[in-house]
Amino acid sequence: MKRNLTIDLRALDDDKRQVELSFSSEEAYERWWGMEILSHETSAVDLSRLNEIGCLLFNHNRDKVIGRIDSAWVRDNRAYALVTFDEDEESDVIYQKVKSKTLKAVSVGYTVSSWEEVAVGKASANGRHVGPCSVALKWQPYEISIVSVPADATVGVGRDMGNEEEQIEKADYSYYERQILLNKNLLGGKE
């Protein structure tokens, strides 16, 4: 899955080609099954993969590595990263577009291993979110991308503009099980 945010260029070090950016938040995001929220509690986000082998990509293309992730952390219910752009020609083109604010969006690819389904009008276990929604209680980002076309540029949070029907066809069976649970929650437990 993927999410988008905008780049804040106040933390750009041109000499090192480094940018500090926020790549995820607890902003609710509408998926095909309903509203999704990524918990940013300390125990929820596993940043080990980003901190050990993280790459900066362009448009989620694994063949378009444009830099490295130097460090990633969570603060104030947001995830941040310090990234360094590579110096090759292709990476430099993207870096220059980020500097000139032509490219402003950041997206994160991630997997979720544990969910909390919150029924309509009910509060999540931590009391911070009201349903209907699905709260990702355990999730791991696996890449950060500079993206050219975020789905919702007005709020800085969105999704990749992929074909949603293809995403549904490729989804594993657990998504369908979750949809059934969400439908039951939306109907107040009635089938």
Q: Report the distance separating Cα 33 and Cα 126, nearest Å.
A: 22
How confident is the model over 163-182, as a mean pLDDT? Answer: 49
- pLDDT per residue over 33-90, tens digit each? 888 999 999 899 999 999 999 999 999 999 999 999 999 999 988 888 999 999 999 9
Residue ranges of domains in the chain: 2-186
Helix, strand and coil content of the chain, in percent to the nearest 5, comes to: 20, 45, 35
- pLDDT computed for residue 111 by the predictor: 92
Give the predicted TM-score (pTM) of the model.
0.74
Residue 183 confidence (pLDDT) above 60 = no
